[in-house]
Homo-oligomer: A and B are copies of this chain.
């Protein structure tokens, strides 16, 4: 059986965009996708030029998503899937158009800027029944899958406490005023819909729910802007309660000077606890009560890992796997969805996107009301 790669298009990701390059590397790791087209820039010449630079037919560098969907859908060798890697405020229009054109969709997070837009997206994706993956890439790490499996196995017992943090320091200075592109749109409320909250708190929120198997039910939050003059929040602290009554906390900052990308998750049960740290992703700590701590490590050769977890490992243990491989595991799940075979590989979808939007609404509301405890519907 020949395994023809899925032909993929990209919206955004031109020029120096960090995340576009990640998508391009991640999608080809398993030979399951081939990038064939892109709406890389609203300037037609730029888009064509960039297409050529990355080895595509320059004619398939388009100036808009809608133009691309129409043109590619009309080609026998046209793209049938799309990666949406634009700033948040553009997601709704592009995703809805992609769904209408029948494309399978891999979209950047958060889903979009407003709950109303999110509902439009959800309706479009549901009505067209297209595959949809949301890029909460940290869920693609093998040891995150193992963490979830350990919770499900019951080895932690009843969960009592969930603590997450996501600490970055790159916005310590107001670099958005110096023309740093990554910073500029993320700190512009119109484009991002939220600063640290939308950009990274949603990742942490997703991890809390994904690994624990619980929902964040209520929050008491404080969104802060710690750099004077910044337009968006850059720092978020919150207390929460999980759906089973467990206590929870989440601490998020993009001005935690000296921190790179410190996403960490601790889940404490009444029998054992676990800890995962994104910057050391191949390691998972399991700490049973009154017993030595256990350090589990990732690797295709590690028989003590769950079989599904091993299948997410591209290397034997001790050969580090990184962010791009985690991302690639979401693309593998995406390919499986497109191919229509149930793979057992988890990927976040519309439901997770809607949960994230509800979370953003709730923390904004709580923060505006002096931390009043607020339900996430």
Contact = CB atoms under 8 A, between A and B. Distances in A.
A173 interface: yes
Contact of A279 (B32, B272, B320, B323): B320
Contact of A31 (B30, B55, B255, B323): B55
B273 A169 contact: yes
Nearest to A5: B55
B170 A316 contact: yes
A18 B300 contact: yes
A237 B373 CA distance: 14
Contacts of A90: none
A318 interface: yes
A259 B237 contact: no
A322 to B, nearest CB: 4
A258 interface: yes
B273 A318 contact: no
A24 interface: yes
Contacts of A321: 320, 322-324
A54 to B, nearest CB: 5
Contact of A325 (B163, B226, B285, B324): B324
A21 interface: yes
Given A220-B371, A251-B163, A323-B320, A297 B293 contact: yes
A339 interface: no
B22 A314 contact: yes
Interface string A255-276: 1111111100010111111000
Nearest to A246: B226
Contact of A258 (B163, B293, B324): B293
Interface string A310-328: 0000111111111111000
Given A2-B52, A253-B268, 20 more contacts: A2-B53, A2-B55, A5-B55, A24-B31, A25-B28, A29-B29, A160-B257, A220-B220, A237-B239, A255-B268, A257-B273, A261-B317, A262-B318, A286-B292, A319-B323, A320-B322, A321-B324, A322-B322, A322-B324, A370-B373
Query: Which 4 residue pairs are nearest across A and B when measured between Cβ atoms?
Result: A258-B287, A261-B318, A260-B318, A322-B322
21 contacts: A21-B314, A25-B30, A28-B29, A29-B324, A160-B255, A170-B316, A220-B222, A237-B249, A255-B270, A257-B271, A257-B289, A261-B316, A280-B320, A292-B297, A294-B295, A295-B295, A315-B324, A320-B323, A321-B324, A370-B373, A371-B373
